[in-house]
Structure formats: C-alpha cells, structure tokens
Homo-oligomer: A and B are copies of this chain.
Amino acid sequence: MHATSTPTPSPDRAALVRDLRRFMPAESVLFEAEDLRPYECDGLSAYRELPLVVCLPETVEQVQQVLKLCHERQVPVVARGAGTGLSGGALPLADGVLLSLAKFKRILEIDTENRVARVQPGVCNLAISQAAAPCGLYYAPDPSSQIACTIGGNVAENSGGVHCLKYGLTVHNVLGLKIVTMDGELLELGGKALDTPGYDLLALMTGSEGLLGVIVEVTVKLLPKPERAQVLLAAFDDVAKAGEAVGAIIAAGIIPGGLEMMDNPAIRAAEAFVHAGYPTDAAAILLCELDGANAEVSEQIFQVRELLRACGATEVRSAETEAERQKLWAGRKAAFPAVGRLSPDYYCMDGTIPRFRLPEVLQEIARLSAEYGLPVANVFHAGDGNLHPLILFDANQPGELERTEAFGRQILELCVAVGGTVTGEHGVGVEKLAPMCSQFAAAELAQFHAVKHAFDPAGLLNPGKAVPTLHRCAEFGAMHVHAGRLPFSELERF
C-alpha cells in the first residue's frame, strides 16, 4: 500500500560492489534487480524497496569488514534474518546495503551441562529446539512463525509467542550475544554465567530492531521439556466471558504454558483452513495449555476446568493425545494465514493491555468495527494481554485502506490509554512510528536517540525505523497520551 518508487541507481553502486568483492566471493554480493527482488520487503509486504546492494557474509570477519567499509563510506546498512517480521523492520533502503545473515545457520554448541545453546543468528527458531530435543531440552519462545523465523530476528524484535506467558519473551531466554557495531567492533555481551556486571547491554540489544549493532552469535537458555503438556479448549457464547475466564485462571495462581483466545471470525477461518476441530458456532474459544510435572498438571487441569465452567464456558474439552494437542495448536498457529483467506487484505495489529482490561477493550474494538464498517478477527495471547486484532479490508476499494489505518490507530491509542503499549511483540519497524509518539513523551524519545548515538553516532544502522524523531512526531500531530495519565474525561472517549 505504501510501495515506494524504484530507486534511481546510485552512482557509487559499482564502486561499492567492487570493494565488497575484495573480501567476499562475487556470489555473496548481489546488485542485479532480479537478485535484489527477494529482499524488497519483509512480512509487512505493504512497504517495498529495492536495496542498493545485498551482502551475504559467511563469517564474523566479513560482517566486520562490510560494516567498516559502509562506515567509511557513510552507507546505511539494514540487517535481515528470515524476513518474517511484521512491522517492516528489515525494509531495505534504496541507498543502502541489505546485510543478510542467511549464511549464519550453524548451531555451534548444545551445552547440556549449562543448558544453553550457542547458535549463529540465521538459525531458525524451531531448529534450536529440534537440535536440543535428543537431550530432553528445548528453547521456549515460540513465535507463530517459528518454522521460518531466525533467532537473530527474534532477538532484534524481542519476539514472543504462545508460551511467553510462562516462559518469558526472548529477552528472558537469551544469555549472551556477540554483536558487531557499525564501526566494525566485535562486542561480547553476557554469556553462560548468571548476571554479568556493567550496564545490561544484552537486554538493551534485545528488541533494538537492528539499530544498535548486527548480531553475529546468540547464546540461549534451554529448558527441560516438561513431563507433560495438556491443552484444554473452552468455548464461550460471549467474548467478554472468555476475557473474564482469563483473569480468573491467572487470579487462581495458575500460570498456564499458553493461554490463547480467538473470537468467532478467527475460529471459523482457522477451522476452514486446518480443520482443528474448533466449535465454529462459539463466540470465542480459549486454548489453555498446562505443563509441568504429571501430578501438577493433573491437579491444574481439574482446577482450570472448574474455573472455565464457573465463568460460563459452554463446552470444555481436553486433548487426550499429543496428536490432538498439536491439532488444537495448529489452528491457533495458522490463524493469521487463515484469516488472510477471508478477505483480500488484512491489517494485523499488535498491542498490549493490562490483562484485566480485556473485556472492556474487546467491547470497544467491536464498537469501532461497527463504526468503521470493517470486520475484525481477534487472535491473541490472552494471558499476556497481547492483542492481535486483524482488520479485514480490501485495498482496491477506494478509501478502505485509509479507514483501516484510522481504525488501527484508534485501537493502539485505546491500548495506550488503558495503560498498555502500541506493540507487544511485532516491533515498531516503519509501521508503528506514529503510535510511538503517543506512547512516549519527548524526554523519553530524546533519551532513546541519545542511546542510539552511543552505538551509532552517524545513524547508519537501520535508519528511519523503531524510534521516531521528535520532528516526525510533530508532523504526525500525534498526542502523547501516557499510560493512565489522561484525565478520566479523556479516557471516556475510548
């Protein structure tokens, strides 16, 4: 929807290619339009741009050399993993180098004694768990894209997933990083031991969307596979009741491995797509996975069943085999592409809210959906309060795109107004720059820029992403409505 024009070939492309090829094989430096095409966008396909050059380094030294060269020439650089990101974080620049980490796909070490895996950034999320499986271990964060997304991208975006309620986001599961800064320095952050001294640059890098450095190695925590994992499906005739059940489960002191919610449009789409056995007449379903020691899971399954019934579930069933469990999750994990089949286009939102505001926020989204005349399917990590409303629209209908974007903005402002955030796990990228102006005050944005300057003073790494300039915020006309600080009369508007 925001396709940009084909870049005018930069005069120094030839010189750059020549110099890059001094230390990289010719086939690892791409510049022909047909070779650049696969890199023109990430999972946010509405934004497209051909990079000046694509580099595919294979060693840390090559990454250092590419960055040093670009630093000297003042050429901007965008790092890219698998390109599955949903906010345009890996969108190339017409005058910049696209640095693909696709060749960094080795698992360097599975250390069972310390329960860590040391891997290259281009290793696929699921491949880590597969490699650790023979040792009875796995890597916990599981974004829906886990069969494709890479661990380097997960770190850059601080990705979440179905199991993050219990096991934390990427930042809680990464123990060490090696990064290369824009001037080609290699830094080692964290490691296998608990809590290194000095400033926590490891956490700072995690979720920094490629603006502070290029990740060249990742050490992650591995967890023992729980003895048992069982999933319950509960159906509700009212979305608000499902929202209340989420609060009731958490309030009872139970932390499920996953606690996911889908509303009727999402249920029907997923069912039609993967035949997970979902009740297509339900207003909402909850999927609640309990994992741990056998005895504990048995007790919790019993407790959660009771709670779900008390909250008005019309049906509660449990997967009795691993195959049934996988089938129930398959529907949830395929929900985005499934919804994609319902309508020519969809716009995936990603906001978070304090968990107990769920029922009122869902009601307000439904009201806005009617007001804008645009259907919404809701799929989300309910336990975390991480919403993914998918707005269905047709970009070919005049005005629908603009209405969709306005609706999306209102959803994000609603999230901020109830004390939440404008992105839970998909990152800011190019897409959420305007909402960031609502989320943060000028002093906070200024501090972000100061931190960026401490790593990359010339602003060459992934420029124009993640943190809006104060100037852009002024252009957007965005109002800063900070968590809970709006007077009550303002909150009433949402």
Q: Which residues of A411-437 have CB atoms within 8 Å of chain B's CB atoms?
A: 419-425, 427-428, 432, 436
State whether the Cβ of A372 lies closer than 8 Å to any Cβ in chain B.
no
Check if B354 sits within 8 Å of A171, measured CB to CB: no
- Interface 0/1 of A380-394, CB less than 8 Å to B: 000011100000000
- Of chain B, the residue at the smallest CB distance from A112 is B251
Interface centre among A247, A386, A421 (most CB of B within 10 A): A421
Residue numbers in B under 8 Å from A421 (CB-CB): 191, 193-197
Interface size class on chain A is 35 or more
Check if A422 sits within 8 Å of B293, measured CB to CB: no
Check if A185 sits within 8 Å of B443, measured CB to CB: yes
Q: Which of B181, B425, B451, B453 contacts A195 (CB 8 A)?
A: B425
Residue numbers in B under 8 Å from A251 (CB-CB): 112-113
Check if A195 sits within 8 Å of B293, measured CB to CB: no
State whether the Cβ of A31 lies closer than 8 Å to any Cβ in chain B.
no
State whether the Cβ of A363 lies closer than 8 Å to any Cβ in chain B.
no
Binds B, one of A38-46, A53-61, A199-207: A199-207
State whether the Cβ of A440 lies closer than 8 Å to any Cβ in chain B.
yes
Q: Which residues of A449-494 have CB atoms within 8 Å of chain B's CB atoms?
A: 450-455, 466-467, 482-483
* Distance in angstroms between the alpha carbons of A114 and B358 in the assembled complex: 12
Check if A201 sits within 8 Å of B447, measured CB to CB: yes
- Interface 0/1 of A270-312, CB less than 8 Å to B: 0000000000000000000000111110111000000000000
Give the 10 A-B residue pairs with the shortest CB-CB distance, closest first. A203-B203, A224-B253, A450-B454, A295-B295, A296-B296, A454-B454, A113-B356, A193-B420, A193-B352, A185-B443
A interface, CB within 8 angstroms of B:
112-115, 136, 158, 160, 168-169, 171-172, 181, 185-189, 191-201, 203-204, 206-208, 212, 224, 227, 247, 250-251, 253, 292-296, 298-300, 352-356, 384-386, 419-425, 427-428, 432, 436, 439-441, 443-448, 450-455, 466-467, 482-483
